[in-house]
Amino acid sequence: MMTTNATDLLGTLKELHRDKLTLRERHVAVARHVDHYDFNNTYQYAINREDVHLSWLETAIAELGGTPDQVPALELPSPGRKGKSNAFTSLVDEDARSAEACVTKWRARVDGISNIRHAKMVDVILGETLEHRRFFAQIAQGNEQVLGTRMAGAGTGNGVMGVRWIE
């Protein structure tokens, strides 16, 4: 369906915002269970990029006179004992599948967005969502170098902190 008027475009962008916000909230919830330093850093990177995507969508929605919907924060039960190797793998696998499903759903709809600026924005968001899917698949496979190789002798500072931001 072609989004040729502002009302259709607003509805489309609000729906994508809801989908991306839902994914972001899930990634925040999963990150609380990922106690492996490198894997948690990868989640923090993905969450940070999703915050950027959401800000782009929120700006576009506001420019069209709309207000983005909110979704509730998500709490996930523990996937297993902390410190146990791969206890969180099932959560990460599900995140990879969810990212793929999001891209599949929205890739088919990008061509229907007649506003070129918004279509390109959605295309960039989908491309980065595919990158996140690759990250999650690599985490599930145990690849500790998803974001790169640490300098020789550099440590992780005794693991993951209990909170995302410290001010």
Rounded CA-CA distance 42/85 in Å is 17
Which residues are CB-contacts of 164 (< 8 A; sequence separation ≥ 6)? 28, 31, 44, 47
CB atoms within 10 A of CB 163: 8
Model confidence at 74: pLDDT above 60: yes
pTM as predicted: 0.85
Rounded CA-CA distance 104/100 in Å is 6
Q: Residue 51 has what pLDDT?
A: 98
Closest residue by Cα to residue 56 from 83, 17, 82: 17
Model confidence at 142: pLDDT above 60: yes
Closest residue by Cα to residue 60 from 105, 111, 125: 125
Rounded CA-CA distance 59/63 in Å is 6
Q: Residue 100 has what pLDDT?
A: 98
Model confidence at 22: pLDDT above 90: yes
Q: In the structure, what pLDDT confidence band is assigned to residue 82 with cuts at 50, 70 and 90?
A: low
Q: Which tokens go with 118? A: 């918004």
Q: Residue 143 has what pLDDT?
A: 87
Q: For the stretch 118-157, what's the b/e string if a residue is b when 16 or more beta carbons lie within 10 angstroms of its beta carbon?
A: bbebbeebbebbeebbebbbbbbeeeeebeeeeeeeeeee
